[in-house]
Every structure is written in structure tokens, then in C-alpha cells.
Amino acid sequence: MKSRTTPSRLRIAAAASVAMAMGTVGLTALTGTASAATDDVTVQYRTSATGVTADQAEPWLKVRNTGSSTLPLSSVKVRYYFKADSAGAAYRFACSWAVKGCANITGTFGTLANPTATADRYLDIGFTAGAGTLAPGADTGDMQLRFHRADWQTLNQGDDYSFGPSQTSYADWSKVTAQVSGSTVWGTAPEGNDPTDPPTDPPTDPPAGGQSLFDDFNYTSSSDPKISANGWNVRANSGGPGVPGATWSPENVTFASSGGNSIMNLRTSTAGTAESTKHTEVLTKATKFKNGTYAARVKFADAPLSGPDGDHLVQTFFTINDLKAPMADDYAEYDFEYLPNGGWGEPANILYTTSWETYNPDPWQAVNQHTESRQSYAGWHDLVLTIDNSSIKYYVDGRLFGTHDAAYLPERPMSINFNQWLIDLAGQTSTTARSYDEQVDYVLHVKDQVLTPAQVAAKVSAYRTAGTAFEDNVPSS
């Protein structure tokens, strides 16, 4: 992720060993009460934690197929709305028991675009393909779910929109919402949270003009002089993040062709020792990027090319500037980080996005906002980050992943970075050599313009149709 001390201590400082919060994936904002004629599912709710204050919230749910055809659960998303106890509170999701298996249920937190007196956050419940299907009239059975503050401080449920203290047995509950394949079919969202982001028919034509950086990564090797001429640095200097004593290896950055496009490949390798561990990073030499749109097509990997799996790997796309002093308020950083094997207290694959205001490296203190989704992201993904004067938004594969607050907007320009590194050597202790690849198809930045994912795709297509492999007319800051 970063060319400085990793923020891993933020995620291990609390009793639960992490301090992550707020994530969502694959689900746009929900609203509206579906009519009985068009319902595909109903959602039943009960709570096992009835107190206004509690150590954790326990929304137990059942999803019933009220349609006439078999329903893949992987197409279903259920959203529970609540009010955060403080602006910076972080939350963690857990599944205690489920008929469909906790391993097949995902929970991600997010921030509402239009907060109300009873809701400014939500918990999205999703299903992996392993959850299977529901026949007409069938339900999921018990899903005994819970969430708590990352610091284990007491929750106040009394002002939570979806909380029902008297619901001690299952019953239909319209204060949770459900979508099937992106369409709202059940429940009523808090007022003002219509599904308008992204819009139903997002614009596909990018706006005219716009000073841009585009790179198709059409190079021969890490020593190709065009890389430096085009403003990139292939890192060779020592230092964090990652395994102390590891090296940053320019020769592990290579270029090839895939699917008719040129790609950049970042390879991280280890044989279980610091001396054998090689990390990779490519970053812009200029720190001139601030508001606007950032986009990249990135291929994440869950498994090594060969050898034993399990290393605590971080695969990234991010922007950053330098921390001039501990807790300096003009620091900025915006991350996509994929951990295929967990780490930072997480047991399995997870995708984070993080917007940083500042931090103190020693003693560790951080001010940031997170989004997380616990599921596999192996394969190619379109990652889009937009920054304007009101918010930071992260998109994955065309869908809103998370919205972060204006308090985390950048004060100074940043560089654009890709890196891949190991948090530690505790995930896999074998001394058998193994390596992991992260691939990048392209990168795009458009200064001061907020593009939809569809507009990003159109702009990239236009570059490729014109045969433009590189452009940078973003002025120096």
C-alpha cells in the first residue's frame, strides 16, 4: 500500500485486534415499499438483544422466496439501518450460526448518503454462491447475526431505524430492505435514501475536456526508459510497509499482453524469510493529483503461482502524499487494499477502502474512515475513486462500494501508486518458495471531474480506439 509505516497497528490496537468499519459492495441505496404483486422476497426479523443499550446488536433474519421461480441467494442483498454512536465509531460483523452456513453469509458496513435522525450507517447482508438457492415458498432458516463496535464500547440501539426491541420472535419487518439482482423488492429505507447513486441510467459519455493522465502500461521491462520519461518510479529503495528486511524489487515488475491489452505485472515472492522476501511498487514521481476521478483495472489473486498458500498479502491501488509531522492535518491517502488470505486480525479474504485524514506513527493514532467487504475478489476488477468538494466515493465493478465523509477530503495533491507486499511471515511459515501476482491493465486520472464508472469505461475505450497508450496533461501542482 504505502511507502511509509503500514497502518496495521490501527487494525490490531483494539481488543478485537482490528479497528475496521463501514463497508458495502454490490448494493446501491435502497428505498420504497414493494407491492405484494412484485415481491420476490420477504424478510423476517427478530432480535436476541432487546435492550436499548447492549454489548452488541443481534439482528436475526430469515429471507423467504415469495416468487414463482427458484431464487439464487447470491442475487439477494438485505440491508439493516442504524445510527452510529459517534462519527468515528467503527463496527464489526459476525455470524453466530446460520442454517445456510456462516461461511456463505457476508456482512459489510456503509454510510448513508442522506443521514437521518435514526440512521446514518447500514449493514448489508449478502450471500456467496455456496448458499445455494431458495425454491418458491422456501426460506433461509435462521441467520443469527450480530455486530458490535470495534472497541467493544456499549451500543445504543434506541435510535436505530431497523431495531425492534419488542420483536422477540420472527415476523415480517419492513424496516429492513432487500434487493434481488439490484432491484428493491422489500422494505422501506430511511427517508431521503433513494437509489440514485449510481443512477438507474448513469451517463456513459464522458464530459468534454478534462486534464488527464492515462497509461496503458505498454512497456518492455522495468528498465524501459519510457517508464521514467512518462513520470513513473519503479521502487528499489528500502523501508516499509511490509516485512522488515525485505527488499523492493524492480525486476519483479514486468509487462506482457493479456486479452489484447498490455498489462503491468507486480510479483511478490518469498521463501519464508525476510531475506528472501521481495515486494513490488510502482508510483508516480509527481505529487500533482487531487480532486477528480481515479480509475484502474486490477487483477487480484487469491493463490500463489506455485507453492504453499496462506501468506498475509496486500494488493493495492492508492493515492498518497507525505506526512510532514505526526497528526499533520494536510496528510491525505485513499486506498483500495485486497487481502486474499486475511491479516491485521482478519482470518480470510477481505477488501478494504480507507480514506485517511492523518496519523501518528508512534504511539499509533489514526484518523480515517473505512469500508470493508469480506469475500473473495480474485480476478479482474474495475476500481474507481472519485473526490469532489463534498465526499470521497469508491466503486467496484460499476457499483458503489462506500462513501466517505468531507472530513477526509485532501488538502494537498498526491501521487498515484500500485504495490504488493506481505504484512508479515506469520500467515505461512513454510520455507518453500512461492510468489503472487497483481496485474494492472490501465490507470486513469481526470482532474477536477467526477466521472461515473460508465464514463470511465467510455474514456478508456476512446483512448484505445485512438491508439493512445499514454497521455499526461495534468499540470504540476
For residue 280, is pLDDT > 70? yes
Q: What is the pLDDT of residue 194?
A: 54
Q: What is the pLDDT of residue 111?
A: 81
Q: Which long-range contacts (CB under 8 A, 24 or more apart) does 231-235 make?
A: 231/284, 231/285, 231/286, 231/472, 232/282, 232/283, 232/284, 232/285, 233/282, 233/283, 233/284, 233/285, 234/281, 234/282, 235/3, 235/280, 235/281, 235/282, 235/283, 235/419
For residue 12, is pLDDT > 80? no
Q: What is the pLDDT of residue 10?
A: 31
Contact 122, 110 (CB under 8 A): yes
The DSSP annotation for 262-303 comes to EEEEEEEEESSSTTT-EEEEEEES---B-SEEEEEEEEE-SS
Q: What is the pLDDT of residue 203?
A: 67
Average pLDDT over residues 272-278: 97
Mean of the per-residue pLDDT values of the chain: 87
Q: How confident is the model at residue 86 (pLDDT cuts 50, 70, 90)?
A: confident
Q: How many CA atoms are closer than 13 Å to the CA of 292, on its beta-carbon side?
A: 24
Q: How confident is the model at residue 19 (pLDDT cuts 50, 70, 90)?
A: very low
Average pLDDT over residues 143-147: 96
Please state, in angstroms and rounded to a whole number, the distance separating the CA atoms of residues 195 and 188.
Answer: 12
Of residues 273 and 103, which shows the higher confidence score? 273
pLDDT in tens, 29-54: 223 333 333 358 999 999 999 999 99
Q: What is the pLDDT of residue 202?
A: 57
Q: How confident is the model at residue 242 (pLDDT cuts 50, 70, 90)?
A: very high
Q: What is the pLDDT of residue 460?
A: 94
Q: What is the pLDDT of residue 11?
A: 30
For residue 20, is pLDDT > 60? no
Of residues 359 and 6, which shows the higher confidence score? 359
In the chain, % of residues over pLDDT 70: 89
Average pLDDT over residues 238-257: 96
CB count within 10 Å of CB 96 equals 13
Buried b (16+ CB within 10 A) or exposed e, 45-61: bbbebeeeebebbbbbb
The DSSP annotation for 115-173 comes to EETTEEEEEEEEE-GGG-EE-TT-B---EEEEEEETT-PPEE-TT-TT--TT--S-EE-
Q: How confident is the model at residue 130 (pLDDT cuts 50, 70, 90)?
A: confident
Q: What is the pLDDT of residue 270?
A: 98
Average pLDDT over residues 181-190: 88
| Cis bond before residue 241 (omega within 30° of 0) | yes
For residue 289, is pLDDT > 70? yes
What percent helix, strand, coil does the chain show, rounded to 5? 10, 45, 50
pTM score above 0.75: no
Q: How confident is the model at residue 249 (pLDDT cuts 50, 70, 90)?
A: very high
Please state, in angstroms and rounded to a whole number, the distance separating the CA atoms of residues 60 and 452.
Answer: 36
Please state, in angstroms and rounded to a whole number, the distance separating the CA atoms of residues 247 and 19.
Answer: 28
pLDDT in tens, 443-467: 999 999 999 998 999 999 999 999 9
